[in-house]
A and B are shown apart, each in its own frame.
Chain A
Amino acid sequence: MTKYVKYVDVTKCDGCRACMVACKNWNDLPAEPTDFLGSVQSHAKTTADTWNVLQYIEHENGKGDLEYLFRHSSCFHCTDAACEKVCPENAISYTKYGSVVIDQDKCVGCGYCVQNCPFEVISLKTYKDKNGKEYRKSHKCTMCTDRLEEGLQPACVTTCHTGAMEFGSKEAMLPKADKRLSEIKGRFPNANIYNPQGVGGTHTVYVLAEKPSVYGLPENPRVPASAIAWKDYAQPIGKMMLGATTMALVGAFVTNRLFNKEGRSESQDGGGSHE
């Protein structure tokens, strides 16, 4: 199956935030009023109800000039997703399109994915059931997988009026990114393609005007080593150890029954001293 990529060229973005509105609209997410944060930016980062946030960054480039940088930020849909690895309920899975989605029925709200996402885009939301009891669910951008299934493109992409976002097969999008990079290198010497290989590449690929760190992105994101040690080693070995000791004891119980007949007869004639 073809894998799809949301290609984001931040140098074409004009910061209109239509992507944020389209996302809220399609996904039926409630508005989250915030206080003034010191810039045009509405939210500090993505939240459980705000799956994409437009970043506004005032950056001084090497020549002493001010660059006003914009970035549409949302889930990266990693090829090796840490959230998928650590989810204890298998609630997070890869779709055939390459997107990473959370099954809301399976999610138990533990927050392991929130803590392990290298991009910190996942958040928990607290709900109240009809008895007033609180429960939590984990939320993030779905890449509009429900739209993809209907042959549509993600809502944010469809609405983007500058063409800063495009959606298509990985094979079609990555060359576009390469071409664009060569076009803007003169204007933005630090420009780069952000498709981090530490997580096997992502399904949201950026052309960034500045180094990733300028946008608050990790330079080399990976699935945390702790998550690999935990899920690939500690947990399976732990289960094996429990199985092994239990089997040893079942064995002990059986051999006691088979071989320790003398012990029992001994105590019958009063010679034994082990109860």
Chain B
Amino acid sequence: MSKQHVKPDMQVKRFSKAFVWAHAINALSFCALYITALPMYIEFFDWLYPILGGPANARLLHRIFAVTFVSPTVIYLIFDHKGFFHWMKELVTWKKRDLEFFTEFVKELFGFKFKHVKQTFFNAGEKMNSILQILCAVMIIGSGFPMWFPAYFPRAVVQWGYFFHNVGFGLAIAVIVGHIYLSVIHKNSRPGYTGVVTGKVPAWWAKEHYTEWYEEEEKKGNFPNLDDPKHKKGA
């Protein structure tokens, strides 16, 4: 933590309870789904079958987590529809700053000098992640139904279901590896990780990473003005 601020622990609210729960259920379900089906994807992981209680039990677990995997969208939509639609709106809003973000992001990722590009509630990278994950979830869930209930679907739909399921989780895991790295390992984004668990993030970090959002909330009087002398070090 930087010593620059008088109250380095000053927190601001970033995520609603609904978001925190939806995100956690989504994350755990995805991991569980990936592990319960991993031996079907990569034979090297066949040793997981006995741990999972045999292939039949792995299939049962996969179906249980399939249901929990679908629930976050519903939870978020019911308990925080405002947040949900704000998220959707952000996802379709793309400006020049979003493209600039990516050039700076690559520098930051590999530890080179970079500058922060002003971002709204979600930065361009998070928006990209959201869009890809939504796309993948649609593919995975949509194809999951014919795979689970083949008797109710035409044969060709079931057959293409296997393909789309594969493409969906194949793309999703590649993106998620990056998503987890940035939150848990990459040092500059780490407050985001605690943020998605507690719903709160350090004010200085929020301001730096999501400047436009912070300034908006500041104008509304929700967040403190960090340039205010009483929040500045020594002044």
Residues of A within 8 A of B (CB): 86, 88-90, 108-112, 115-116, 133-136, 224, 226-227, 229-230, 234-235, 237-239, 241-242, 244-246, 248-249, 251-253, 255-260, 263, 267, 270-275
**In the complex, B185 has a CB within 8 A of chain A:** yes
- The B interface is mostly helix, strand or loop, or mixed, namely helix
Give Cα A235 to B175, complex, Å: 16
Beta-carbon contact of B174 and A241 below 8 Å: yes
Beta-carbon contact of A133 and B54 below 8 Å: yes
**In the complex, B117 has a CB within 8 A of chain A:** no
Beta-carbon contact of A241 and B170 below 8 Å: yes
Beta-carbon contact of B111 and A238 below 8 Å: no
- Report B-chain residues with C-beta under 8 Å of the C-beta of A273: 2, 4, 204, 208
**In the complex, B141 has a CB within 8 A of chain A:** no
Q: Which of B110, B155, B158, B174 contacts A238 (CB 8 A)?
A: B174
- Report B-chain residues with C-beta under 8 Å of the C-beta of A256: 110-111, 186-187
Beta-carbon contact of B150 and A111 below 8 Å: yes
Binary interface encoding of chain B residues 173-199 relative to chain A, with 1 for a CB under 8 A from any of its CBs, else 0: 111011001000111101100000000
Could you list some 22 contacts between A and B, CB below 8 A? A88-B39, A88-B40, A90-B43, A111-B150, A115-B155, A115-B159, A115-B162, A133-B57, A226-B159, A227-B159, A230-B166, A234-B163, A239-B42, A242-B170, A245-B175, A257-B111, A259-B111, A260-B112, A274-B188, A274-B208, A275-B187, A275-B191
Q: Which of A133, A252, A263 contacts B110 (CB 8 A)?
A: A252
Known: A238-B171, A263-B111, A267-B2. Is A274-B187 also a contact (CB below 8 A)? yes
- The A interface is mostly helix, strand or loop, or mixed, namely helix
Name A255's closest neighbour in chain B (CB-CB): B110
Beta-carbon contact of B55 and A270 below 8 Å: no
Q: Which of A89, A110, A267 contacts B43 (CB 8 A)?
A: A89
CB distance from A110 to the nearest CB of B (A): 6
Residues of B within 8 A of A (CB): 1-4, 39-43, 46, 49, 54-57, 59, 109-112, 150, 155-156, 158-160, 162-163, 166-167, 169-171, 173-175, 177-178, 181, 185-188, 190-191, 204-205, 208
- Report A-chain residues with C-beta under 8 Å of the C-beta of B55: 108-110, 135
Beta-carbon contact of B49 and A251 below 8 Å: no
Known: A249-B178, A273-B208. 4 other contacts (CB 8 A): A108-B40, A252-B110, A275-B1, A275-B190
- Report B-chain residues with C-beta under 8 Å of the C-beta of A255: 110-112
Beta-carbon contact of B54 and A235 below 8 Å: no
Give Cα A168 to B174, complex, Å: 50
CB distance from B108 to the nearest CB of A (A): 9
- Report B-chain residues with C-beta under 8 Å of the C-beta of A229: 163
Beta-carbon contact of A242 and B177 below 8 Å: yes
Beta-carbon contact of B191 and A235 below 8 Å: no
**Total A-B residue contacts, Cβ distance less than 8 Å:** 128
Give Cα A110 to B187, complex, Å: 42
Give Cα A36 to B178, complex, Å: 60
Beta-carbon contact of B2 and A272 below 8 Å: yes
Beta-carbon contact of A275 and B111 below 8 Å: no
- Report A-chain residues with C-beta under 8 Å of the C-beta of B46: 89
Beta-carbon contact of A244 and B41 below 8 Å: no
CB distance from A228 to the nearest CB of B (A): 9
Beta-carbon contact of B43 and A235 below 8 Å: no
- Report A-chain residues with C-beta under 8 Å of the C-beta of B155: 115
- Report B-chain residues with C-beta under 8 Å of the C-beta of A90: 43
Give Cα A150 to B233, complex, Å: 89
CB distance from A166 to the nearest CB of B (A): 32
Beta-carbon contact of A242 and B56 below 8 Å: no
Beta-carbon contact of A226 and B160 below 8 Å: yes
Beta-carbon contact of A239 and B160 below 8 Å: no
Q: Which of B41, B185, B205 contacts A275 (CB 8 A)?
A: B205
Known: A251-B110, A275-B1. Is A135-B54 also a contact (CB below 8 A)? yes
Known: A110-B40, A226-B159. Is A270-B170 also a contact (CB below 8 A)? no
Give Cα A271 to B171, complex, Å: 39
- Going nearest first, the 8 A-B pairs with the smallest beta carbon separation are A238-B170, A108-B55, A256-B111, A260-B111, A230-B163, A241-B174, A226-B159, A255-B110
Name B42's closest neighbour in chain A (CB-CB): A239
Give Cα A255 to B112, complex, Å: 8
CB distance from A217 to the nearest CB of B (A): 15
Beta-carbon contact of B170 and A239 below 8 Å: yes
Known: A89-B46, A252-B109, A270-B3. Is A235-B156 also a contact (CB below 8 A)? no
Beta-carbon contact of A234 and B40 below 8 Å: no
CB distance from A25 to the nearest CB of B (A): 30
Give Cα A246 to B176, complex, Å: 10
Beta-carbon contact of A135 and B56 below 8 Å: yes
Give Cα A255 to B56, complex, Å: 44
